Amino acid sequence: MKKNIFLFLILFFFSCVDHYKNYDDNLLVFKEMIEAKNKFFEDPNQDLNLSKYYSNNFIFHSYPAGNKKGEETIKSDYLDSLKQMKSMGYVLNIVHSIYLPGINEKTYEVDGSVRVYYGAILSVDTNMVEFSGYMTINFFNNQIAEVWEWADYGGINNQMQAID
């Protein structure tokens, strides 16, 4: 009997490990991308070198006020917006994150996607605004395929304008 329980526990453990390997691999990709994004904004001489982290058909979903279905931004426009922010003197820094594995909405099993709660600082010159956000990130072949992000863009914008 003890052997059967022990065997069951070993099989159960290995089945759980396999489910999380894909998540762990994708989480590593996401963390590397965040580090590269922070370096891009912190170093005035750093080129934007994020394209390799995103799939060719990457879509960024955001949900500004008044648009309950959200807006979609393709990869080139998303990366261009980061370059434009930097050229305008903005510095974006993701300062802390909490990561959780995503689950399949039908089976409720870990599916390799990553959920992130984060805190960030957006600054220009010596002025800064702290904010929080939430992301759901889906991957395809170890590249970020889609991001759904919820953050108070209007509030961030209002605070940045009040600083001016």
Indicate which CATH number applies to the domain containing 90.
Answer: 3.10.450.50
Which residue segment(s) compose the domain that 58 sits in? 22-163
Q: Cβ of 58: how many Cβ atoms within 10 Å?
A: 21
What is the identity of the amino acid at 79?
L
What pLDDT does residue 119 have?
97
Q: What percent of the chain has pLDDT over 90?
A: 68
What is the identity of the amino acid at 90?
Y
pLDDT digits (tens, 9 = 90+) for 61-85: 999 888 889 999 999 999 999 999 9
Q: Are 40 and 49 in contact (CB under 8 A)?
A: yes
For the chain, report the end-to-end CA distance as a whole number of angstroms.
73
Residue 90, pLDDT above cutoff 90: yes
pLDDT digits (tens, 9 = 90+) for 5-59: 765 656 555 555 566 899 999 999 999 999 999 999 999 998 999 999 999 999 9
Residue 16 included in any domain: no
Closest CA to 59 of 148, 142, 152: 148
User: Model confidence at 164, in pLDDT bands (50, 70, 90)?
Assistant: low
When divided into structural domains, the chain yields a total of: 1
What pLDDT does residue 153 have?
81
Q: Which residues contact 130 (CB under 8 A, 6 or more apart)?
A: 119, 120, 121
Q: Are 96 and 116 in contact (CB under 8 A)?
A: no
pTM of the model: 0.84
As a whole number of angstroms, the distance between CA 147 and CA 150 comes to 10
Q: What's the whole-number average pLDDT of the chain? A: 90
Between 136 and 15, the more confident residue is 136
Residue 14 included in any domain: no
Please tell me whether residue 64 adopts helix, strand or coil conformation: coil
Residue 2 included in any domain: no
Please tell me whether residue 126 adopts helix, strand or coil conformation: coil
